[in-house]
């Protein structure tokens, strides 16, 4: 992998990640852009104890542009985009309309391929490995920013999810705090460790799932399963078998095997609802240990956390979505329409031949 860092016309950082070491990236962004001004502010809820970001400038972000005006495609002739070069393998740049910025963190866009009509599931294993390497490098770089406590790499896929740009891409949020979901896991880790005299909760969950009926696919280094208490109709958790706290901890064997496992998982998601159905909308979310201090989670260290990816769709059956209504949105109590065991069975049924 070759990494080349440059700047866009308004001062934002852009990083090319290339498969070939001899690739030259010297294209200049000629757009007449003014320096990006954001109004991002993080506010803490005194009752719930969590934080929210107020980012009113995002009201003006690009919204469903025509394919020939996509800002994530390479620049071509007179059509200038966020990527100055005429081609790329993987590229990462600071979001022009970030939810978090400055002392409130940072937001980046990750373009998986220059092909506007592609998808992550359609990438080659070599391309998918390059994305993994880019995620890992950005996690490392962002973790060193003084305002950053946790790095979150994710992909929103599909209009039903709320995606406003059709080009295959994901995002990276670098939060100035530990996110609520992660804090819940850390508290559960601490309680389990205390109750069992030191046992790791992630290890216990993984061992139980490996011995059960909800495993979707398993390889030498990775295992994917539908969790016992899945929140979503089709939800899969992907774990490396050797516990590591973040993407930086993956060894070469796990990195080499990841593309094959993950691409197969994504392709199965697209086959859940049968032939002729539109691509399955999904969210793919990497859960990594925070880089900040963990004193409030007594007895827990970063090494107790287990890196894993959660992949889920809001489609519950053909042509029908799972909406978060009163119980889910009002009380955070999910009601799942598909038994996790049946979801796992279906995801095994649609394996590649």
Residues annotated as catalytic are 169
Which ranges of the chain does DSSP label H, i.e. alpha helix? 125-143, 180-196, 201-210, 252-269, 331, 340-349
Query: Which residues, including other chains, have CB under 8 Å from residue 96's CB and lie 6 or more apart?
Result: 10, 12, 36, 61, 82
Closest CA to 26 of 3, 56, 6: 6
Extract the tokens encoding 353.
């031949």
Q: In what order do the strands lie in the sheet with 106-111?
A: 2-7, 13-18, 90-94, 106-111, 169-175, 150-157, 282-287, 308-313, 234-240, 222-225, 215-218
Closest CA to 347 of 284, 246, 267, 277: 267
What are the DSSP calls for 339-351, one per residue? -HHHHHHHHHHT-
Closest CA to 312 of 348, 343, 342: 343
264 within 8 A of 238, measured Cβ to Cβ: no
CB atoms within 10 A of CB 150: 24
Q: Which long-range contacts (CB under 8 A, 24 or more apart) does 317-325 make?
A: 317/233, 317/273, 318/273, 318/274, 318/277, 321/160, 322/232, 322/233
Tell how far CA 242 is from the center of its chain. 20
Extract the tokens encoding 192.
């389990």
CA dihedral 200→205→207→210, nearest 10 degrees, is -160
Task: Phi first, then psi: give them for residue 294, nearest 5 degrees.
Answer: -120, 30
Closest CA to 148 of 104, 108, 97: 104
């Amino acid at each position: 992998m070759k990494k080349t860092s440059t700047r866009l016309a308004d001062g934002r950082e852009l990083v090319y990640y290339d498969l070939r070491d001899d690739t030259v990236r010297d294209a200049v962004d000629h757009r007449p852009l003014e320096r990006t001004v954001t109004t991002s502010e993080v506010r803490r809820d005194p009752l719930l104890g969590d934080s929210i970001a107020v980012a009113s400038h995002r009201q003006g972000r690009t919204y469903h542009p025509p394919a020939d005006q996509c800002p994530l495609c390479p620049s071509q002739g007179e059509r200038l985009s966020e990527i100055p070069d005429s081609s790329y393998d993987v590229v990462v740049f600071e979001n022009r309309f970030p939810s978090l910025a400055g002392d409130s963190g940072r937001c980046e866009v990750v373009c998986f391929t220059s092909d506007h009509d592609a998808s992550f599931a359609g990438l080659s294993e070599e391309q998918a490995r390059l994305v993994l390497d880019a995620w890992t490098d950005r996690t490392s770089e962002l973790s060193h920013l003084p305002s950053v406590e946790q790095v979150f790499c994710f992909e929103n896929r599909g209009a039903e999810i709320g995606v406003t740009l059709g080009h295959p891409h994901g995002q990276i949020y670098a939060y100035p705090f530990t996110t609520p979901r992660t804090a819940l896991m850390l508290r559960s880790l601490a309680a389990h460790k205390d109750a069992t005299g030191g046992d790791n909760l992630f290890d216990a969950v993984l061992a139980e799932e490996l011995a059960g009926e909800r495993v979707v696919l398993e390889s030498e280094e990775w295992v994917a399963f539908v969790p016992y208490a899945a929140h979503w109709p089709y939800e899969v958790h992907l774990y490396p078998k050797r516990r590591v706290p973040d993407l930086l901890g993956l060894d070469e064997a796990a990195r080499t095997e990841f593309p094959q496992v993950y691409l197969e998982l994504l392709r199965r998601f697209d086959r859940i609802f049968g032939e002729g159905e539109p691509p399955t909308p999904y969210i793919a979310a990497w859960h990594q240990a925070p880089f900040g201090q963990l004193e409030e989670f007594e007895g827990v260290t970063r090494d107790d956390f287990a890196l894993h990816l959660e992949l889920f769709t809001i489609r519950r059956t053909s042509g029908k979505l799972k909406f978060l209504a009163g119980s889910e949105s009002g009380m955070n109590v999910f009601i799942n329409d598909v038994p996790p065991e049946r979801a796992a069975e279906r995801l095994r049924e649609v394996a590649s031949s």
